[in-house]
Structure 1
Amino acid sequence: MRIQNNIAALNTLRHSANHQARVGESIRKLSSGRELNRSSDAPNLLLGVAQLRSQVVGLKQTKENVETSVSLLQIAESGLGEVSKILTEIRQRVVHAANEAVNDESMLNADQMEIEHLLKALDQIAQNTTYTEQRLLDGSMGINGVAVGESALDFVSAEAETPASPEKGYQVDITRVSTRARVEGYKPLTLASASDGVEIVVSFDDRTFLFNTDDHELGKEIQDLRAKHDRDPANYPKAQVDQEVRDLLVYHVSRALQRDNLPMEFFERPDHIFVFRHKNFGDDVFFTASSNIDGLLTRKAHEPENAILGKDVEGTIGEASALGIGQELTAREGLPGSQLTVRYGKTVDYVEQPILNEQGEQIGATYVLDSPSKSVAEKVEGFVHLSQQSKRFHLDSNEHVYEPFAFMNVRASKLARHLPNESGFASLADIDVATPQGVSDANLLLEQAIEDVSQIRMELGSFQKHTIERTMSNLGVAVENITEGQSAIEDADMAAKISDMASGQILAASSQAVLAHANQKPQAVLNLLHSS
């Protein structure tokens, strides 16, 4: 029976204080809804929670950035849609101008005036398609390049990832010009060999071109020339009528090729040998040709011969080997000027080559295609200066991921540039429908412009759908998952805390009741002393 120290009361008081603290902690967590309110609550988890919270904030802001990017892309796509409509209207005017039988000069002038107004509308779209103060379709958010040097060298394109050129530009050195697939005859056509008719058959790309003089006025013209020569050889000498037959054949075959819209050309070499040539450059074009006359296109009549394959351009960009396809040379990915494409339009012509006998004496001459490497071996062709203004779209704040995209310049002077044509139109801005050839070339440039605009619309739509919108969806999932992880650590389980608080309150009340009993023990000793 000790009264100096009431151990039972001290023990009960300690438990009571613990229960009160437990109740207070439960109330604090219930009122804030958080498991972690102070650093002392869980020091080992505090850093992880702070990092998760920072990630969530960054991802939410990135998601807002991406949503803003969608708005920008939609404005650009809307502008490109208007460009497509205008190009279609221009095409309608050009097709109207093609009706030679009906259109007079005043109608053609009216078509041309309307076309020029529509071309100005393209420039207005480039000027006015903006997001805040940024112009989207005038080239200021894309790639701008210019070639300096030989006139045959042109800048074609570059990718959003292509680095800007150094101060002096990317050096372009052509080591071989491109050539076209061709079939060359063996001897000239004469009036005598053409008298029984001329038939030419060319097969390529699952298509067959058949020309027969019996199906054209040419057959009658050849017979008329033969009659004149037989009747009056002095005024219609053999050399003259032979040349007229060849000229007529070139004219009618060329007309037939144009009518059938075939990318082929038929012409006569200076030594009067016929050449059938594909218009496309490079080694991926193949065709066969034959005729009904020995030597006209093939050694033997009716025996097709394969075309002599063309060659792709060869050279370097930025002093590194580049990939040639046709007339276009593209810097390899990862090398200087990565994915920069230029066009070298220089061609080689037929040159005279002497025919020598065994003694080395010239006994004649023939014409052969000049060496594709000879004319470009001595000097650098030029430099390409590239301004890279593609914009980077922010896709991930945590990984610092950006995706570049280059917007198109839709000014008329920048559409369908450097497309070979008989009228010499340098771009869509130059088209003129005053002549039949102008109409034909305007159609050619329009097709290219429509294709280019459709291509960039496809790329923009693909970028929006597969990059921007998918990123937005992924960011939403990431925010949800990280928030869930943060919640599992930081947020309080309300049911558990209410249960814990109730338990603490009961224990606190019990300990207080027990404390009252514990404090009665010294009183019992005092009562004992009084009774004694």
Structure 2
Amino acid sequence: MPLRINHNIAAMNSHRNLMKNTEVQNKNLERLSSGLKINRGADSPAGLIISERMRAQIAGLRQAIDNSETGITMLQTAEGALEEVNRSLINIRQLAISSANEAVNDESMLAANQQELEDSLRTIDRIAKISNYGKKAILDGSMGANGVAAGDNLEFVSATENTNSSPVGGYAVEIKTAATQSTVKGTVSLNQALIDAGEQLTFSEGGKTLNFETIAGESVETTMNRLEKAVIASGMDVVMVRIPGSAATPDAPQFLSFKHNEFGSEHFFQVASSTSGVLSAQADVSVKIKNGDDVAGFIGGELGIGRGQYLTGSIPSKVSGLKLRYTGENAPPPGKIAGSVTLSQNSLVFHVGPNVEQSTSFSLRSVNSNKLGSGVTNDSGFRSLNDVEFTDAERSQDAILIIDRAIDEITKFRGKMGAFQKNDLESNLNYLRNAHENVTNAESIIRDADMAEEMSAFARNQILVQSSTAMLAQANQTPAAVMKLING
């Protein structure tokens, strides 16, 4: 073995290994103290990039979870208020049933019911006004799609969160066909001879049937009145059409005419008469009366879907979900529009995902009494729940129709809101929690240190550092052997 004094190669080798082992040991210490496998970009450039992207995703998932949970609490707040509205409506309906009991009610009882009705309506309006989430009103209609219709016989009914806000001037509404009712009119008048002969009439609608027979000796007017009451009592959705002044005298012949209460192609009824022409074209042969027509037209240039008097924007389109009502008996002349509707879209938008454009929306309707129970045909002229009165039995009967519509609207809205909460928010929340767990696990595999593995490596490197130090000390003793050789 050669002995040199200018360069101690063995010492240099031992020093190099000592530095390398010390550096590795320091990394072990850093990983053990931080718990991270990657502490800087140099540890794993690709791993750091992937890990940081995952950390951003994890933070987004955490916030999306918070957003979904907050959205659920908001809807639960609205649900609590709607439950109180439902209770008030049920109480109002009970009052209407009481007021319709004409046989026992007097003016003071009706006045008491009317007073309680007004109190309940004020309660509903107060709930609509004060129901807030934070400082945001949620049941006054400001958090939904609000519209105003301009034009004769044109009404704005509703819109959904999918409907776009209208341009300046609103969406033009073109009506091509007005809605009609299923109607029948006899070609042979009901006269005294037919009544005395025992004319038989049969009506059928919605699973209900009425068999009516005239009574010999009754006048035409008496028979007509009895027939009208029998049709009402049958529960059929059919009404007799009486022409004012058609009977100059009680015995004057009169034509029979009936129509379905509802508009549109879904509604019809059947009639038969024992004399041809009184109602049916052939004697004793039941005939189905032609269905009514649905309204047809365009909203904002988009084809609408007609159902009875209601015209709804087609899907998908800018007017998707926009619902209007046209009550005119005839469509406007060609080239003229029925009017326009101006819509402002303020539906709630919930950002429920960790990335861009991962949101869902929901429209909270108004529960003000003047927005409930509209669109119900009634003889008292009630246009909404806010108009109902219990001043007499007839008005109370009509009020029940309005109240039933209002209850139906609120319960359907609660169901729709519940479906949104369950299917959009809660289901999404379950996914977010699962995704958060899985992405966190993936990021942990890339970034976090395996403490057992690092401890094992640390013990190994600690031994190597100690060994390298000892060998460096030994290597540094080699030049001393040269002095012994020189000194002999």
Q: Which runs of 5+ in 2 are unaligned?
A: 247-252
**Partner residue in 2 for 1:467:** 424
- 1:272 is displaced (CA, Å) by 4.1
Residue 255 of structure 1 pairs with residue 229 of structure 2 = yes
Instruction: State the partner residue of 2:44.
Output: 42
Q: Distance in 2 between matches of 1:458 and 1:489?
A: 45
Q: Which of 140, 165, 168 in structure 2 is aligned with 1:138?
A: 140
1:332 counterpart residue number? 314
User: Where does the alignment leave 5 or more consecutive residues of structure 1 unmatched?
Assistant: 214-218, 226-244, 348-371
**Matched-pair identity in %:** 37
Q: Which amino acid aligns with 1:187?
A: V
Report if aligned partners of 2:182, 2:290 keep a CA contact under 8 Å in 1: yes
Q: Is the 8 A contact 2:172 2:300 kept in 1?
A: yes
1:338-397 deviation per Cα after TM superposition (whole angstroms, max 9, x unaligned): 2211111122xxxxxxxxxxxxxxxxxxxxxxxx55x64362111111121111111113
Aligned equivalents of 2:291, 2:404: Cα separation in 1? 27
Separation (CA, whole Å) in 2 of partners of 1:161 and 1:517: 83
Q: Which residue of 2 aligns with 1:106?
A: 108
Q: Does 1:279 align with 2:264?
A: no
SS of 1:284's equivalent in the other structure is: coil
Q: Which amino acid aligns with 1:437?
A: E
Structure 2 contact 208–234 (Cα < 8 Å) conserved: no
Equivalent residue number for residue 96 of structure 2: 94
Could you tell me whether the CA contact under 8 Å between 2:189 and 2:278 is conserved in 1? yes
- DSSP 3-state at the match of 1:187: coil
SS of 2:42's partner is: coil
Moved over 6 A (4+): none
Residue correspondence of structure 1 range 84-233 to structure 2 within 5 A = 84-150=86-152, 152-213=153-214, 219=215, 222-225=216-219
Cα deviation for residue 528 of structure 1 reads 2.1
Aligned: 1:426 with 2:392: no
Tell me how far 1:206 sits from its aligned partner.
Answer: 3.0
Amino acid across the alignment from 2:68: V
Residues in 1 aligned to 2:407 and 2:12: alpha-carbon distance in whole angstroms: 93
* Contact kept? 1:203, 1:288, Cα under 8 Å: yes
Q: Could you list the per-position Cα deviations for residues 154-182 of structure 1 after superposition, in whole angstroms to 9, with x for gaps in the alignment?
A: 11111111011111111111111111123
Q: Which moved more, 1:82-91 or 1:398-407?
A: 398-407
Q: Distance in 2 between the 1:90 and 1:287 partners?
A: 33
Preserved contact between residue 320 and residue 335 of structure 1 (Cα < 8 Å): yes
Matched, 1:9 2:11: yes
User: How far 1:12 moved relative to its partner?
Assistant: 1.6
**Relative to structure 1, is the Cα distance of residues 378 and 274 closer, same or farther in structure 2, using a 3 angstrom cutoff?**
farther
Q: Helix, strand or coil: the match of 1:396?
A: coil
- Partners of 1:66 and 1:268 in 2: CA distance: 58
Q: 1 CA distance for matches of 2:357 and 2:295? A: 40
Q: 1:499 is paired with a residue of what secondary structure? A: helix
Aligned residues: 478
Kindly state the Cα deviation for residue 419 of structure 1 after the two structures are TM-superposed: 2.1
Retained in 2: the 8 A contact 1:174–1:376?
A: no
Q: Find the aligned partners of 2:316 and 2:419 in 1 and give their Cα distance.
A: 24
TM-score (norm 2): 0.94
Write the deviation string for residues 217-272 of structure 1: whole angstroms up to 9, x where unpaired: xx2xx4154xxxxxxxxxxxxxxxxxxx1x33332222122223221012356794
- Could you tell me which residue of structure 1 aligns to residue 249 of structure 2? none
Mean alpha-carbon deviation: is it higher for 79-88 or for 17-26?
A: 17-26
SS for the counterpart of 2:293 is coil
State how far apart, in whole Å, the 2-side matches of 1:263 and 1:204 are.
7
Structure 2 distance, partners of 1:104, 1:419, is 28
TM-score w.r.t. length of structure 1: 0.86
Q: Are positions 1:484 and 2:441 aligned together?
A: yes
Does the residue aligned with 2:278 lie in a helix, a strand or coil?
A: coil
Distance 1:164 1:249 in 2: 55
Find the aligned partners of 1:451 and 1:67 in 2 and give their Cα distance.
29
Deviation at 1:287, TM superposition (A): 2.8
Q: Tell me, what secondary structure is at the counterpart of 1:343?
A: strand
